[in-house]
Amino acid sequence: MFTRSKTRALSLFLLVMLLFVPIAGAVSNTGDIKKADSYKAPQNSTIENELFAELSAKAELYNQNFDKVPEVIKRLVASEEIAGKIELKNGEMLYVTLLMRGGKIGDFYMYDTPNDPNSKFGPSITVETDEKTVRKILDSKKPMKKAIKSINDGSLKVETEGFFRNTMLLTLKKLYK
């Protein structure tokens, strides 16, 4: 069950996993953000899940265009563990984790169970949605606005931990109405 503030929050997961397309915007001084090793999407992969393969390619694109990501997003994603639960069109579930390093994607992987077997502390942000919602956001000309609309209409459910994350997500929601 989600509290009102959690459902209002803009999903960090969406900002990172689903919006890997270049994000236009001015970037201010990066301050205390540390450099990360970039995630590299597998080449000639035999990944069975088409959506995961597409998101892997977008992850690499996000890191390549990191200099265009607004500072507020960089600070929000800093060094988070983000878990995603996506119901696919065929009824199966796609479980993924993003491990962020200094705002960049360090690792992105999928697994077969609802709980990440590699997680040491558990995710700080969990997102639940379906493939239709993910594709609408990826195909949108304004993915940030589409993500916020999805949160508001309930097709994207977000659970975050901590006051800071909730506050940052609410700020992003106001900036990208």
- 135 to 37, 51, 138, 146, 163: CA distances (angstroms): 27, 9, 5, 11, 30
Contact in structure between 56 and 47 (CB atoms under 8 Å): yes
pTM of the predicted protein model: 0.72
Kindly report the CA angle at 37 between 35 and 40, in degrees rounded to 5? 140
Q: What is the pLDDT along the chain (177 residues), one digit of tens a residue?
A: 444 444 333 344 444 444 433 333 323 333 344 444 555 555 444 445 889 999 998 889 889 999 988 787 787 788 899 999 999 999 999 999 999 998 899 999 999 999 999 998 899 999 999 999 999 999 999 887 898 889 888 899 888 888 888 888 888 777 777
Q: Estimate the crossing angle of helix 131-139 against helix 143-153, to 10 degrees.
A: 150
Q: Three-state SS for 97?
A: strand
Contact in structure between 118 and 109 (CB atoms under 8 Å): yes
Question: Which phi and psi angles does 108 have, rounded to 5°?
Answer: -145, 120
- 162 to 34, 76, 165, 167: CA distances (angstroms): 21, 12, 6, 9
Indicate the fold that domain 4-26+33-175 takes in CATH. Answer: Nonspecific Lipid-transfer Protein; Chain A (3.30.1050)
- 158 alpha carbon, distance to own chain's centre: 11
Show me where the domains of the chain are located: 4-26+33-175
CA 137 – CA 40 distance, rounded (Å): 22
Contact in structure between 89 and 82 (CB atoms under 8 Å): no
